[in-house]
Amino acid sequence: MAHNTTVTVNVALSLNGMMAGRNGRRVRISGNEDMERVHRLRAESDAILVGARTIINDNPYLGINEKYLMSDRRPARIILDEHLRIPENSNVLNDQQETIIFSSSSREELGHARIVRREKEGLYMEKILDDLGSMGFRNILVEGGRDVINQLIRSRRIDHFYIYLGNIIIEEDGMPLFRHSHEMKLKFLEVSGLGEGVIINLDPQSLYI
């Protein structure tokens, strides 16, 4: 079935495949060159999607540096937060960009964010992506975390998958992105050096088998 949204996943991994440290501790894996690449990816997107625990653990702004903006329009921030657990003072709830929270909560707003209320079945990833398409979002950049990215893999709705592989090893009880129970061979479309790390353009189709 043809879909009207393009989904791009971007994630930074340590050399041993971790997204974060023990108990989700935030680790800076990317360098400045990679942050510039991420800002460019944000500028090409009309929405940036993340899960609630990324907001709770990392408290990002998901903003975009002026110099990368291609128009006046900044990408909207989309938070998946079924139980509305993110703190009211989260940076992402500022008034700098539109923010939309998908939740089962009956609240209508949190900070400057609008809440889109959905029951359990409306929070399946496929439904959320279709909803975002109906709202006019065409290019969606997914910036984590593990739970959200793995739902997207299961839904087979990823068009582009970029991994920044950093020159760092994280403790073995950190948070690996992939927790497959079997061996899988993947396809790299392109690999290039960036700063002190490597960018892998991974073929998402090779994850679906």
Ligand X SMILES: NC(=O)c1ccc[n+]([C@@H]2O[C@H](COP(=O)([O-])OP(=O)(O)OC[C@H]3O[C@@H](n4cnc5c(N)ncnc54)[C@H](OP(=O)(O)O)[C@@H]3O)[C@@H](O)[C@H]2O)c1
For residues 168 and 17, what is the distance between their CA atoms, to the nearest angstrom? 10
Among 26, 190, 189, 23, which residue's Cα sits nearest to residue 12? Answer: 26
Q: How far is the CB of 102 from ligand X (least distance, A)?
A: 5
Binding residues among 111-140 for ligand X as defined by CB under 6 A = 123, 125, 128
Nearer to ligand X, 53 or 77 (CB): 53
Q: Which amino acid is at 39?
A: H
Q: How far is the CB of 46 from ligand X (least distance, A)?
A: 19
**Beta-strand relationship, 99-103 and 113-117:** parallel
Size of the site for ligand X (CB under 6 A): 31
User: Is 146 near ligand X (CB under 6 A)?
Assistant: yes
For residues 135 and 126, what is the distance between their CA atoms, to the nearest angstrom? 14
Answer left, alpha or beta for residue 70, where phi above 0 means left and psi between -120 and 50 means alpha: alpha
For residues 48 and 75, what is the distance between their CA atoms, to the nearest angstrom? 7
Q: How far is the CB of 127 from ligand X (least distance, A)?
A: 8
User: Is 182 near ligand X (CB under 6 A)?
Assistant: no
Point out which span in 31-39, 48-56, 182-190, 191-199 binds ligand X (CB under 6 A): 48-56
Binding residues for ligand X, rule: CB under 6 A, are 11-12, 19-20, 24, 26, 29, 50-54, 57-58, 80-83, 85, 102, 123, 125, 128, 143-148, 151, 175
